[in-house]
A = this chain, B = another copy of it.
């Protein structure tokens, strides 16, 4: 088992690496550097990747268990602090069961020029709506998800929130939206399912 201090130590090592790779992703898309500079950059990145590859987890990061029963979903594409693809979202839970997150989406999440890809809005909403149903040690999986796009979502500062509409047996019905400073851009509703587990 991993203690809380050990987890904090691991996070202090790996989280800054992911943050630096996030910035590298952004400049990789936006750089206008010349061919020589880009080739030199690529060669250095390959060296760094080789150095980090001397010891690799097989497969994917998964969800690792900490000593206090907390899950470390550090590889998760939405919230993973070790995943440079994740913004990452920090999901806040309110006492009434609703959840919310404020986040910034940059050039890496683009679809139409200057706008968030509609599918990225779906990715964020799937996660935020699902978070209303997730319980520690009792994950919920998406059953269905429906998205209504009211208008384009510009890249930049955004807000997402979701709440439980009702619970029927193993099914949690959740609703939510993404909004910018001018209001809601995408609405969503979804059904999230807790797999039945045999009580040993």
The residues of B that contact A109 with a CB separation of less than 8 Å are 77, 85
Q: How many copies does the complex hold?
A: 2
* Nearest neighbor of A82 in chain B, beta-carbon distance: B29
| A-side interface residues, number (CB < 8 Å) | 84
Closest 9 CB pairs of A and B: A119-B123, A119-B126, A60-B107, A122-B122, A62-B113, A118-B142, A32-B55, A31-B52, A30-B57
A19 to B: closest C-beta gap in Å: 8
The answer to whether A38 and B60 touch across the interface, beta carbons within 8 angstroms, is no
Chain A residues with a Cβ under 8 A of chain B: 13-14, 16-18, 20-21, 23-25, 27-33, 35, 37-42, 44-49, 51-57, 59-63, 74-78, 80, 82-85, 106-114, 117-120, 122-127, 130, 139, 141-149, 152, 155
